[in-house]
Chains A and B, each alone.
Chain A
Amino acid sequence: MTPDRDDRLHAAEFVLGLLDAETHATAERRLTTDPVFAREVAVWQKHFAAFDDTADPVVPADDLWRRIEADMAAAAPAAQVAPPGLLRRLWNSLGALRIAALSGTVAALAFATVAVVTVRHAQEVAARKPVYVAILVDDATRQAGAIVNAFADGRVEMIPLVDMSVPAGRALQVWTLWNREVGPRSVGLLDRARATPLDLQRLPTTANDQLFEITLEPAGGSPTGRPTGPILYKGTTTRTL
């Protein structure tokens, strides 16, 4: 899917900081819901990053670090999203989200809904521990979009962490790849992001380092039986501790 020219220029103006406050805020929100736009923004950020090294260094006053350190104590690192691939950090981040949601001091309002949903799922997940977990991440924005849990009895479920925007006439399709020769197999089709069991009954038992991904496809699913649309989120399974 190629974003149109206007959208690309809009992404560039966003990176330059030329949008008015309201439009800028809208674009910022869009980063979390529109992977194509987020990718465009990342490309422009990389283009312009070379300028950052052309600034003359200005050694800050001695007390700057002290101020940072003092404020840091009050602000534990809060997770808006979980990092890819590392299960332990996922659990840490779920913990941080839980604290953030409860205390209401750390989590940005925009992420409150996600946090609450995540906390609920964290509790559910903790109650029945999966054998493998995959965190599906958007390549461009680094944002985690969904978790896939595979249980000892063969059940596999997907839990979205963000509200993925699905245009009319399109659907989210979930795929897994456990064998490159066989290629990706469809294991779920959704009209919107929601927690769902995945159909892996006819596939071999889920294993370590098995790829899962979510693509945007025509409603009713990919016409070819293979992913045709853009990959929204992807990740591989890791054995739980």
Chain B
Amino acid sequence: MTAESSSSPPALEAEISAAIVRCATGEKSALRVIYDLESARMVGVAHRILRRRDLAEEATHDAFMRIWRSARSFDPSRGAARAWIYTIVRNQALTILRDETRFGPEEQVDEDLPDPNSALLRLPESSALRQCLQQLETGRRNAIVLAYVHGFSHGELAGRLGMPLGTIKSWIRRGLASLQECMG
């Protein structure tokens, strides 16, 4: 994690890691520390997926409940505290997104296709993820970025990119296979 660490300074990583460990002992102020440091970015991550601020805040609320309840399952020695938190908020956002009873298609904001390059170009130039994604064919790269950053499903990708479902699935698989080789 050389490239990635440039965007999450070790001091912040350590602070979050320590706060999660304190949450595991039931210390409420530790959850507040995480909230102060990360909640705005968490809402931002959820907002890219849900595109509605109220739902993005709901996903963040659910994520904090989850962090609080499962803090004990976090192992500080692995040193991926922020990745742990963001995996949780992303999953909560995806759960809301995929819940059709909560978030029907008619509710979806019908905006233009989000630009996959905008997230990609915000990655540090030294980022291995950025360099490896840029080596992929455009279609494969866009499908993977839209899936991770904006929570697109196979079906949504097919609709938005105007390609058959089978093509999308194979773009993703082949793109991931190349990515894996590139990132090692």
Contact = CB atoms under 8 A, between A and B. Distances in A.
A110 interface: no
A102 interface: no
Interface in A160-186: none
Contacts of B8: 49, 53
Contacts of B83: 45-46, 49, 52
Interface stretch (A13-21, A146-154, A206-214, A222-230): A13-21
Interface residues of B, number: 72
B160 interface: no
Contacts of B71: 77
Contacts of B76: 83
Nearest to A68: B64
Contact of B61 (A68, A79, A83): A68
B72 A76 contact: no
Contacts of A15: 148
B65 A54 contact: no
B91 A17 contact: yes
Interface in A38-71: 42, 45-61, 64-65, 67-69, 71
Given A51-B123, A51-B129, A65-B32, A58 B56 contact: yes
Interface string A110-145: 000000000000000000000000000101001100
Interface residues of A, number: 55
A92 B25 contact: yes
A89 B23 CA distance: 12
B27 to A, nearest CB: 9
User: Chain B at the A interface: mostly helix, strand, loop or mixed?
Assistant: helix
A14 to B, nearest CB: 10
Contacts of A92: 24-25
Interface stretch (B105-113, B134-142, B169-177): B169-177
A72 interface: yes
Contacts of B173: 9, 13
A13 B72 contact: no
A78 B74 contact: no
Given A12-B176, A49-B83, A55-B44, A60 B123 contact: no
A82 interface: yes
B1 A46 contact: yes
Contacts of B57: 60-61, 64
Given A21-B98, A65-B32, A71-B65, 5 more contacts: A51-B149, A52-B86, A58-B47, A65-B39, A77-B68
Interface of A: 5, 8-9, 12-13, 15-18, 21, 42, 45-61, 64-65, 67-69, 71-72, 75-85, 89, 92-93, 96, 106, 137, 139, 142-143
7 contacts: A16-B148, A17-B94, A54-B122, A55-B48, A72-B64, A72-B68, A77-B24
